[in-house]
Amino acid sequence: MPIIDKIAALQDDMTAWRRDIHAHPELGFEENRTADVVAAKLAGFGNITVHRGLAKTGVVGTLKGLGTGSGRAIGLRADMDALPMPEANDFDYASRHPGKMHACGHDGHTTMLLGAARYLAETRNFDGTVHFIFQPAEEGRGGGQKMIEDGLFTQFDCEEVYGLHNWPELEAGKIAVHPGPVMAAADQFEIIVTGHGAHAAMPHRGIDPVLVSAHIVTAAQSLISRGTDPADSAVVSITVVDAGTAYNVIPDGAVLRGTMRTFSEATRNRIEQQFSRMVSSIAEGFGAKAVFNFRPGYPATINTEPEARKAAAVATQIVGSDNVVWAPPPTMAAEDFGYMLQQRPGAYIWLGHGAHSGPGCRLHNPHYDFNDAILTTGASYWAKLVETLLPRSA
Ligand SMILES: [Zn+2]
Ligand SMILES: [Zn+2]
């Protein structure tokens, strides 16, 4: 596969960088060592201006190409954080931080973007500006959103922004590109039902919040099956039902919790509103009260089609057209790159990773380890993306 030669030559260096980051995992907004490593490397590559402090531990490296005419700029984003889980691997670069692990491959993502930065800083064979965005706290803490709030796109304006994630379900050497939704929005809700407690033998003296909750749980099943376009994907799961303490006591109240996952913003808003209305009217029908608390999580990660096509064309140059998977089904998992794609056009691709180290080589599994064999593929994709989107005129 046509990996860029100068990047192929970085295989050993990148492997060493990746394993060093793997051995020192840090959780969201605590990536101090990782950010130090990233900033020092970017500065050492030459020609890159390094900015620190967006979203606390974020790092942005800015590099201008040798061409001077275009005035254009793009952003490439990698995530740096690890997960709060113990590592089950016992190789010599396994986590040295108990209870923390790079089980999602962000060590590899950071390394691939560093590899591309090193190559591009040396060659600068493009016309315009590239911002290398190293974000903290992808795993549930919203570091991407925080970087935007802290001025990412006002300080480092980009016309387009690109991201990638390693994908163990996809063979190493392949790249998948979605022309629209890639990952779902994931929102939490909590429903607080207030009834009136009574003796189980005298239910007519009270208002039973358990019965109200049961009706809510049942009615919620229609939010998707009757309320959502069958061609659209969404899921509502009630995962906590909490009420009562005794066999013979009807409790005063009940609490339900769960998540909803959607791809389109219209469906997301509609389900939220319909669910809220349903909850209060069901409760009212029984003479009870219910409050629907919605806690928005990550938005859906939705590629813009023109940028997805550009990404796929670049992927084809690196892995060949037979190895580019166009428009596979999206996943209901969530990803905070969705915030960046709400601000700018762009594309988030899946980089084939394979289950190279065995059946436990799955994202968020304690046996996961990033596949170093794909470091040069990812770095070459980044480099080629820059040279293709910001071409130098002859
Ligand atoms: Zn993850
Ligand atoms: Zn991840």
Whether residue 1 has pLDDT greater than 70:
no
196-253 pLDDT per residue, tens = 999 999 999 999 999 999 999 999 999 999 999 999 999 999 999 999 999 999 999 9
Whether residue 18 has pLDDT greater than 90:
yes
Residue 139 Cα to ligand 2 midpoint, Å, equals 7
Confirm or deny that 353 is annotated as ligand binding: no
Confirm or deny that 356 is annotated as ligand binding: no
Neighbouring CB atoms inside 10 A of 344's CB total 19
Query: What does the pLDDT read at residue 393?
Result: 82
65-91 pLDDT per residue, tens = 999 888 999 999 999 999 999 999 999
For the segment(s) 185-298, the CATH number from 1.20.58.340, 3.30.70.360, 3.40.50.720, 1.10.3720.10 is 3.30.70.360
Residue 105 Cα to ligand 2 midpoint, Å, equals 6
DSSP string, 87-103: ----STTS-SSTT-B--
Query: Residue 202 burial by CB count (10 A; 0-12/13-18/19+): exposed, middle or buried?
Result: exposed
CA angle 290, 295, 297 (to 5 degrees): 155
Query: Residue 246 burial by CB count (10 A; 0-12/13-18/19+): exposed, middle or buried?
Result: exposed
Neighbouring CB atoms inside 10 A of 223's CB total 20
Strand order in the sheet with 234-243: 234-243, 253-262, 185-194, 289-295
Q: Name the 3-class secondary structure at 199.
A: strand
Measured CA to CA, the distance from residue 130 to residue 139 in angstroms comes to 25
Residue 107 Cα to ligand 1 midpoint, Å, equals 11
125-161 pLDDT per residue, tens = 999 999 999 999 999 899 999 999 999 999 999 999 9
In eight-state DSSP terms, residue 232 is: S
Note whether 93 and 24 are within 8 A (CB).
no
Confirm or deny that 196 is annotated as ligand binding: no
Confirm or deny that 104 is annotated as ligand binding: yes
pTM (two decimals):
0.91
Q: Which amino acid is at 144?
A: G
Domain coordinates in residue numbering, the chain: 5-183+300-389, 185-298
According to DSSP, the residues that pair with 74 across neighbouring strands are 130, 160
Three-state DSSP string of 233-286: CEEEEEEEEEECCCCCEECCEEEEEEEEEECCHHHHHHHHHHHHHHHHHHHHHC
Residue 82 Cα to ligand 2 midpoint, Å, equals 9
287-320 pLDDT per residue, tens = 999 999 999 999 999 999 999 999 999 999 999 9
Same fold, 5-183+300-389 and 185-298: no
Strand ranges in 322-380 using DSSP code E only, listed in sequence order: 324-326, 346-352
Question: Among residues 294, 349, 348, 298, which one has the least CA distance to residue 324?
Answer: 349
Note whether 351 and 378 are within 8 A (CB).
yes
Query: What does the pLDDT read at residue 360?
Result: 83
Residues within 5 Å of ion ligand 1, judged at the Cβ atom: 104
CATH number of the domain located at residue range(s) 5-183+300-389 in this protein: 3.40.630.10
Question: Among residues 223, 197, 346, which one has the least CA distance to residue 277?
Answer: 223
Residue with tokens 């254009």: 72
